[in-house]
Amino acid sequence: MSNSFKESKAIIVEGNIGAGKSTFLRLIKDLLDVQIVYEPHEQWQDIGGENLLDSFYKNKKRWTYTFQSYAFITRIKAQELADKTSASRLQILERSVYSDRYCFAKNLFEMGDMSSLEWKLYQDWWGWFVQHYTKKPSGFIYLQTPPEVCYQRLLKRARSEEVSVPLDYLSMLHAKHESWLIDKQGIDSYIKDVPVLVLDCTEDFESNPELCKKYAQQIVDFFAFDCNLDLPIHKDLSLTL
């Protein structure tokens, strides 16, 4: 069985909670002529009037498997819908099924919030769905951000569900992202050869248009040379020095 996606290319933006992914994509959208697919967290916050994201953070042991399963499904559905409704041949996605497994689900299992049986079940259906209903990405963009900076940004955005997220949890997720995207450890062999562009996002880029242009140019150059993929540009990326 083949997946249901057309022949568009996918680039995935990855990073810790609070790394600035949504902000980064919103700014990049004004510079590059690509289709942006945001993480469907609004669906997690309102399921028939109930907030699964909030339930997960309040009781991880009870809701981890349910939340990780639903996050996976809604992520694929969002990508498929965007793929069908846009003429663009290039998508940039906010997170992916890979960070779901290699970072979040794996970390929650190691924390004891997902049982051994649940982890085995998750890996089993994850592998099948990824094989049949996703496409291999052309590349990853890793917004590498110290967990301490992520924590301050998380506090600043003040999302109600995240008020109880501790710095230690962000530090564990940071280690998982580094292991996967930098060291290429503990991941499936077919994804190891996907190129990764690492951007240092310690500095606040939201109020710095020149830094955003710099990042956009790095993205264009990286995917042109490392992936043989030309990214269409909306605006002049030349920097004012």
| 148 in catalytic set | no
- The catalytic position among 7, 14, 39, 94 is 94
Task: Sort strands 139-144 and 90-94 into parallel, antiparallel or unpaired.
Answer: unpaired
Please report, to the nearest 10 degrees, the dihedral formed by the alpha carbons of residues 26, 27, 33, 36 taken in order. Answer: -20
Q: Which residues are catalytic?
A: 94
